[in-house]
């Protein structure tokens, strides 16, 4: 039996996400679920804390070097964890290292180029819209720094309140033998519990609520 060797690469955009595990759990789960479908093992893991728009990736360079040393395949949860740049993806393909994205494992090189092109376009459009919105707000005399801080505080408060409403339901899911974030999501969907945005639950949305609850209890042990 041939056991495939993989080197996993995960990327988060901020140091806060890296320290909290927010985003990493969902990526690790996606890779784990992919490997569960076949015969493969992760021999090394690399985590990068960097924006998708930047090409300087020391951890990715280390991951690629490890792949070459071990004759392993680079595995990522989603293509956009590598980059949202066509040139970056094209350069990666020339590194003589096989890589696979769990969200499109059968993708051809042509499709990967196309997906990267769409992702790059999306990043550019979002950036342009953000700049236009900030310029319009500034023209109206809005104090962007103060307004942004106020909105961020409101969003954080709303997310905390929502997490508290879900705490007993999450506990019930675990008592029903749901252990992983995917199992908890399946339990919540089966119970017709809507997510915060009114849709279905996914492992990532479960992870966000659980991480927030964990952070709250860590900050205030008496609340347990």
Residue positions annotated with a catalytic role: 13
Give the single-character DSSP code of 81.
Answer: G
The rounded distance, in Å, linking the Cα atoms of 124 and 197 is 26
Contacts of 41 (CB under 8 A, 6+ apart): 3, 4, 5, 6, 35
Structure tokens at 21: 């595990």
Measured in Å, how far apart are the chain's first and last C-alpha atoms?
Answer: 48
Burial 48-61 (b: 16+ CB within 10 A, else e): bebebeeeebebbe
User: In angstroms, how far is CA 182 from the centroid of its own chain?
Assistant: 15
Q: Are 74 and 99 spatial neighbours (Cβ–Cβ below 8 Å)?
A: yes
Of residues 199, 204, 201, 197, the one with CA closest to residue 169: 201
Distance, CA of 83 to CA of 68 (rounded, Å): 20
Contact 75, 10 (CB under 8 A): no
């Amino acid at each position: 039996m041939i056991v495939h060797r993989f080197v996993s690469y995960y990327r988060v955009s901020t140091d806060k996400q890296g320290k909290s595990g927010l985003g990493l759990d969902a990526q690790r789960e996606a890779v784990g679920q992919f490997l569960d479908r076949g015969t493969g093992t992760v021999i090394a893991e690399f985590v990068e804390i960097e924006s998708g728009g930047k090409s300087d990736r020391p951890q990715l360079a280390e991951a690629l070097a490890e792949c070459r040393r071990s004759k392993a395949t680079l595995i990522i949860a989603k293509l956009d964890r590598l980059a949202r740049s066509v040139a970056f993806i094209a350069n990666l393909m020339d590194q003589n290292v096989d890589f696979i994205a769990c969200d499109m494992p059968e993708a051809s090189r042509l499709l990967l180029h196309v997906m990267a092109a769409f992702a790059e376009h999306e990043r550019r459009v979002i950036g342009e819209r953000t700049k236009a919105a900030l310029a319009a707000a500034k023209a109206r005399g809005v104090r962007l720094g103060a307004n942004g801080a106020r909105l961020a505080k409101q969003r954080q408060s709303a997310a905390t309140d929502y997490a508290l409403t879900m705490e007993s339901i999450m506990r019930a899911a675990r008592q029903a033998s749901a252990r992983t974030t995917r199992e908890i999501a399946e339990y919540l969907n089966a119970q017709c519990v809507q997510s915060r945005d009114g849709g279905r639950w996914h492992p990532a949305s479960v992870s966000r609520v659980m991480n927030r609850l964990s952070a709250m209890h860590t900050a205030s042990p008496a609340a347990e």
